[in-house]
Amino acid sequence: MSERNRTVPRVGMVGGGQLSRMTHQAAIALGVDFSVLAADPADSAALVCGSVTLGDDRGLEDVLAFTKAQDVVTFDHEHVPEDVLRAVEEAGGLLRPGRAPLRFAQDKLSMRTRLAELDAPAPRWRAVSEPGHVEEFARETGWPVVIKASRGGYDGKGVWVVGDGSEARAVVERAAAEGVPLLVEEKVAFRRELAVQVARSPHGQVAVYPVVETVQRGGVCHEVIAPAPGLSEDKALRAQQLAIEIARALDVTGMLAVELFETEDGVVVNELAMRPHNSGHWTIEGARTSQFEQHLRAVLNLPLGSPRTNAPFTVMANLLGGEDPEVYRRYLHVMAQDPEVKVHFYGKEVRPGRKIGHVTVTGEDHRDLLRRARAAADHLRGDDQ
């Protein structure tokens, strides 16, 4: 395409997961030349994208070679090591977001330090290098506290809620043995969890979406209600302003997702992600501009699209794998039952608990939408049988 329309840019996305898959859908409409760097031909995006480079999506050699073939490179995950990002930028690769902002999404200690400098509301926290640090901290905040791996983690885990000194000691000693840096945070007494998406372009233009409620179970996002029902205008504005301030201060380009806790009197920042995010999937049907199109517009330095909603409420429910791998045959019932449910299947092998898709419903009454989205997700998983 680039040869025929020389001004059409080549955008590459590192990582072949569902975020790349859905960005590919948006890239088709924009007519930009979109490629993914995927580790495996069975990766979600690699199954459908016309231009796939197979390679190590965290390794210097393959990321560098991929970047050289693109005008701009972005990411569907935060797992490219900082030294790889640095080498790619030094070689002239245009990364959006760049290495400097990505560090704050990759390293929770850096993120907490930077947010503290910005006076952004946050849980109390401190760095942990020995078990005693957790106990000192808990004397101020009370137990339980939340220990987090600053980057990485072990046994596939990066967050531990610990109830006393001996539990804390076990986590800290194991992490020390694995070389995993830790921090401890107070366990925030929150009403509910929120998230807000903001896009920022290199020009500095920003577009912020309505604040959403995220319903988590066992540390996994199950549903998103957009906008968050009954959220006060004060808190909603505060959350949106925070997202904009953070995007600016950290020089984010592309989508930034800010995960928040709603407390009695405000909001506090929980996590950041610098890419399209699960809490923004509702925008595909629910907003004029989906987060995937918006991410592309932002990293391409195009004017941003309108984040206006298409309906009073949109509810998204994640589709988690169940015991039965044959999800498709359940479409028959789900689609017959509710012709307005939109199914997004990621083409991934079904494993229990794995995010293999999502469903979205738009309408007026968020309780009704939540019930319908849950019914569809439960049925697709096979939980209602």
Q: Please, which residue, 7 or 179, has the CB nearer to its own copies?
A: 7
**Contacts with its own copies in 116-175 (CB under 8 A)?**
none
CB of 67 to its own copies, least distance (A): 21
CA–CA dist 205, 11 (Å, integer): 20
The least distance separating its own copies from the CB of residue 333, rounded to whole angstroms, comes to 8
Q: Which is nearer to its own copies, 62 or 293 (CB)?
A: 293
**Per CB under 8 A, 227 contacts its own copies:** no
Footprint on residues 19-48 left by its own copies (CB under 8 A)? 21-22, 24-25, 27-32, 34, 42, 46-48
* Pairwise CA distance, residues 156 & 133, whole Å: 24
Nearest to 57 by CA among 72, 71, 42, 78: 78
Among 9, 97, 210, 280, binds its own copies (CB under 8 A): 9
The CB-of-44 to its own copies minimum distance in angstroms stands at 9
Report the residue from 310, 323, 353, 365 that binds its own copies according to the rule CB under 8 A.
310
> How many angstroms separate the CA atoms of 193 and 213, rounded?
6
Q: Is 264 annotated as a binding residue?
A: no
Which of 132, 163, 229, 325 binds its own copies (CB under 8 A)? It is 325
Q: Which of residues 272-291 bind its own copies (CB under 8 A)?
A: 288-289
Q: Is 217 in the site for its own copies (CB under 8 A)?
A: no
Burial of 228 (0-12, 13-18, 19+ CB in 10 A): buried
Residue 326 touching its own copies (CB under 8 A): yes
Cβ atoms within 10 A of the Cβ of 280, count? 29
Find all residues with CB under 8 Å of 129, minimum gap 6, and list them. 176, 181, 182
Q: Based on the shown chain and the rule CB under 8 A, indicate whether residue 346 belongs to the binding site for its own copies.
A: yes
Residue identified by tokens 């992490």 is: 175
Beta-bridge partner residues of 313: 363
- Asked if 323 is part of the footprint of its own copies (rule: CB under 8 A), the reply reads no
Residue 345 contacts its own copies per CB under 8 A: yes
How many residues bind its own copies (CB under 8 A)? The answer is: 58
* 68/237 Cα distance (integer angstroms): 41
In the complex, minimum distance from the CB of residue 28 to its own copies, in angstroms, rounded to a whole number: 5
In three-state form (DSSP H/G/I as H, E/B as E, the rest C), the secondary structure along 106-173 is HCHHHHHHHHHHCCCCCCCEEEECCHHHHHHHHHHHCCCEEEEECCCCECCECEEEECCHHHHHHHHH
Closest CB to its own copies among 25 and 110? Answer: 25
For residue 312, count CB atoms less than 10 angstroms from its CB and return exposed for 0-12, middle for 13-18, buried for 19 or more. Answer: middle
Residue 343 contacts its own copies per CB under 8 A: yes
CB-count burial class (<10 Å; 0-12, 13-18, 19+) for 90: exposed
Within residues 48-107, the interface with its own copies by CB under 8 A covers: 48-50, 52
In this structure, is the dihedral angle defined by the CA atoms of residues 57, 62, 67 and 69, taken in order, positive or negative? negative
CA distance 271 to 273: 7
Per CB under 8 A, contacts with its own copies among 355-374 are 357, 362
Nearer to its own copies, 279 or 360 (CB): 360
Name the amino acid, one letter, at 345.
Answer: F
Candidate segments 57-65, 70-78, 80-88, 303-311, binder of its own copies by CB under 8 A: 303-311
Question: From the centroid of its chain, how far is CA 308?
Answer: 20
Q: Which of 80, 183, 239, 327 binds its own copies (CB under 8 A)?
A: 327
Residues placed in the known binding site for ATP: 108, 148, 185-188, 193, 270-271
Q: Which residues bind to its own copies, rule: CB under 8 A? A: 1, 4-9, 21-22, 24-25, 27-32, 34, 42, 46-50, 52, 207, 288-289, 297, 302-306, 308, 310-311, 325-329, 331-332, 335-336, 339-340, 342-347, 349-350, 357, 362
